Structure 1
Amino acid sequence: MSRPALDPELRTLLADVPLGTELTHELVQQIRQMPSPPFKTDAEQHDVTLGEITLTVFRPEELTEPAPCVYWIHGGGMVMGDRFSQIDIPLEWLAELGVVVVTVEHRLAPEATGTTLVEDCYRGLLWTVENAESLGIDQVVVAGISAGGGLAAGVTLMARDLDGPEIAAQVLICPMLDHRNNTTSSAQYSGDPAVWTREMNEFGWRSVLGDLADVPHHVSPALAEDLSGLPSTYIDTGTAEVFRDEDVDYATRIWAAGGDAELHTWAGGFHGFDALYPDARLSVTARRTRTEWLARKLG
């Protein structure tokens, strides 16, 4: 199938990157051994252990008044990544908007399967809200990228379905929402190397679903029949990526349910483009647009 063209600058940047088509357990283990890229922040930080999951709290220096909190869920196809993966995105909000950031390290598939990952993330959210006073926070935004975007959507649905906690907004960055993997954009990114392909997506979903016969919508949010009652939602994706159509459909269905959603589909953007190349012109625009939306929602 033909594919949308990549943004020229992003195409040049991506040209020297070794891309693949499929994931294997051996490759995942190799990637897991690689350290997360270093990040810089002047924020105060401390870790919290909740059984088998770990949270890291970042607070702006000399925070004196209650501030919003961004609860961050990392990407990695459900099988890779840690709580510091793509952390520069929420730390940018910390620096610009003065928010507290709580980032969660949930268990990974295939060692953990079924609802475990989303329940880990929900548990971390509950802790965050229960400790709002000591953390100095007055509202919580749930945000995530790729697999973390899908988990963020699942956590938000879980909070709605279980009557809490209250979530002020959700930010879903190129989210992984649909285990069925059967859209046009999924087919477009099959068979040829890319940052994330249909085959890689199948591997990730197969790893997390295991032998699960009845897939809950908290795990695969696109299955949710009812998308009413959700908080304000920001979704962005690229035209040149596997998740494009399921992300656009999710926003469309929120609108159909009478909800508040803002959707940006960046022409020429591949999966995770602004996380990989934050200084590219399209990335700068995407990040600025996202930050401005969040600033408006937080007042």
Structure 2
Amino acid sequence: MKNRIDPELRESLELFPALDLDNLEETRKLLAESQEAQDIPLDETISLTEKMVPGAEGEPDVRVRIHEPKERSGVLPGLLWIHGGGYVLGAAKESDLLCQQFVKEAGCVVVSVDYRLAPEHPYPAPLEDCYAALKWFSENAAELGVDPERIGAAGQSAGGGLTAGLALLARDRQGPKLAFQMPLYSMIDDRNNSPSCGETGSEHLIWNQELNEKGWRAYLDGMQGTENVPEYAAPARAEDLSGLPYTYTCIGQLDPFRDETLTYVTRLAQAGVDVEFHLYPGAYHGFEGLAPQADVAQRALSDYVRAAKWAMHREAATVRK
């Protein structure tokens, strides 16, 4: 597998320590320290605020980070961003740089969700936190200067899985309506038995079949692989994908989620959902975050912003009609 990695992506992978999910607290601590050491500067044209918003009934409030331009003209579209981390790692702050890029280049307001993590908070807690944030975003759109008809959701890896689950949940609960969804290299199939998962085994490729099993076990509280898994937890299990919004997604060819993504994209298209998809050769899981200066990473990041901007403007044109 490693001989197939894009040469520009190899060094970053070699420098990145293998994730240890058997020592979760220590891994979380190390990742948090690494994030703090990076000291990502806040763009001077962007305002960043933190807020606690109401959670689901009987559940705690949800922390969100709101990124918005200090100067604006008119009402803007909105993007709900959901960070990755295998359902067990990560925090909203880790996505600040990408959220700023969306604000500047796609001209929107971004609300980034700090959802609860498994195994302390298994499904449905993380998804319900995201739904609560979406509901708050929609209900407070006017205060945020956002058009409630042009709010989309996006996320990477587990955040992509939550994005796909959220789109199903919003559809079935009759709102809030999503203008588009962008589940990027998303973690959507708990069965962990595809050929692409098997190819990664226990290799150090950021995420692999072994880590995937542990992440799903934590998120689903041990019921992964059984017939009891809800489609909102593992969207690859959804029987009906009709009625979902325009979808943009992508995957690296060396990502364990390659095959579940290919199947998901095919089924979306067959269900009549407008979908755009990119497969990046030589790319492993999370490549654009680990080696952002690589050519393939720059193309991927540019595609994210372009697709979100297009979806927002397309929705605006539809609303005007």
- Give TM class, smaller chain: over 0.9
Q: Is the 8 A contact 1:58 1:100 kept in 2?
A: yes
Determine if the alignment matches structure 1 residue 132 to structure 2 residue 107.
no
Indicate the larger mover: 278-287 or 9-18: 9-18
Indicate the larger mover: 13-22 or 58-67: 13-22
Query: What is residue 185 of structure 2 aligned with on the other side?
Result: 174
- Where structure 1 has 5 or more consecutive residues not aligned to the other structure, the ranges are none
1:196 alignment partner, one of 203, 207, 213: 207
Determine if the alignment matches structure 1 residue 5 to structure 2 residue 14.
no
- Per-residue deviation, 1:22: 5.9
Q: Report the CA distance shift for 1:257/1:24 in structure 2 as closer, same or farther (over 3 A).
A: same
Query: Match of 1:165, as an amino acid?
Result: P
In structure 2, the residue corresponding to 1:110 is in which secondary structure?
coil
1:256 alignment partner, one of 270, 274, 279: 270
2:43 alignment partner, one of 34, 41, 49: 41
Q: Report the CA distance shift for 1:80/1:281 in structure 2 as closer, same or farther (over 3 A).
A: same
In structure 2, the residue corresponding to 1:210 is in which secondary structure?
coil
- Per-residue deviation, 1:173: 1.3
> C-alpha offsets along residues 225-266 of structure 1, whole Å, 9 cap, x if unaligned?
011101000111100111111111111110111111111010
Instruction: Tell me which protein shows more helix as a share of its residues.
Output: 2
Query: Match of 2:115, as an amino acid?
Result: H
- Per-residue deviation, 1:96: 1.1
Q: Report the CA distance shift for 1:24/1:117 in structure 2 as closer, same or farther (over 3 A).
A: same
In structure 2, the residue corresponding to 1:85 is in which secondary structure?
helix
Q: Report the CA distance shift for 1:97/1:4 in structure 2 as closer, same or farther (over 3 A).
A: same
Q: Tell me the distance in 2 between the aligned counterparts of 1:4 and 1:35.
A: 28
- Where structure 2 has 5 or more consecutive residues not aligned to the other structure, the ranges are 54-59, 314-321
Query: What is residue 17 of structure 1 aligned with on the other side?
Result: 16
Indicate the larger mover: 222-231 or 88-97: 88-97
Q: Tell me the distance in 1 between the aligned counterparts of 2:134 and 2:304.
A: 22
Q: Report the CA distance shift for 1:81/1:20 in structure 2 as closer, same or farther (over 3 A).
A: closer
Q: TM-score, normalised by structure 1?
A: 0.94
Determine if the alignment matches structure 1 residue 146 to structure 2 residue 154.
no
In structure 2, the residue corresponding to 1:15 is in which secondary structure?
helix
In structure 2, the residue corresponding to 1:96 is in which secondary structure?
helix
Q: Tell me the distance in 1 between the aligned counterparts of 2:19 and 2:27.
A: 13
Q: Tell me the distance in 2 between the aligned counterparts of 1:151 and 1:32.
A: 21
Q: Is the 8 A contact 1:71 1:141 kept in 2?
A: yes
Q: Is the 8 A contact 2:196 2:259 kept in 1?
A: yes
> C-alpha offsets along residues 82-131 of structure 1, whole Å, 9 cap, x if unaligned?
11123322221111122101001011001101211101100010000000
Query: What is residue 158 of structure 1 aligned with on the other side?
Result: 169
Q: Tell me the distance in 2 between the aligned counterparts of 1:184 and 1:191.
A: 14
Query: After superposition, where does 1:72-151 map in structure 2 within 5 Å?
Result: 72-138=81-147, 139-151=150-162
Query: Match of 2:33, as an amino acid?
Result: M
Q: For the aligned residues, what is the CA RMSD?
A: 1.8
Query: Match of 2:141, as an amino acid?
Result: A
Q: Is the 8 A contact 2:67 2:99 kept in 1?
A: no
> C-alpha offsets along residues 255-289 of structure 1, whole Å, 9 cap, x if unaligned?
11111111101001110111111111111111112
Query: After superposition, where does 1:225-264 map in structure 2 within 5 Å?
Result: 225-264=239-278
Q: Is the 8 A contact 2:13 2:290 kept in 1?
A: no
Q: TM-score, normalised by structure 2?
A: 0.88
Q: Is the 8 A contact 2:80 2:111 kept in 1?
A: yes
The aligned length equals: 298
- Per-residue deviation, 1:24: 3.5
Query: Match of 1:58, as an amino acid?
Result: H
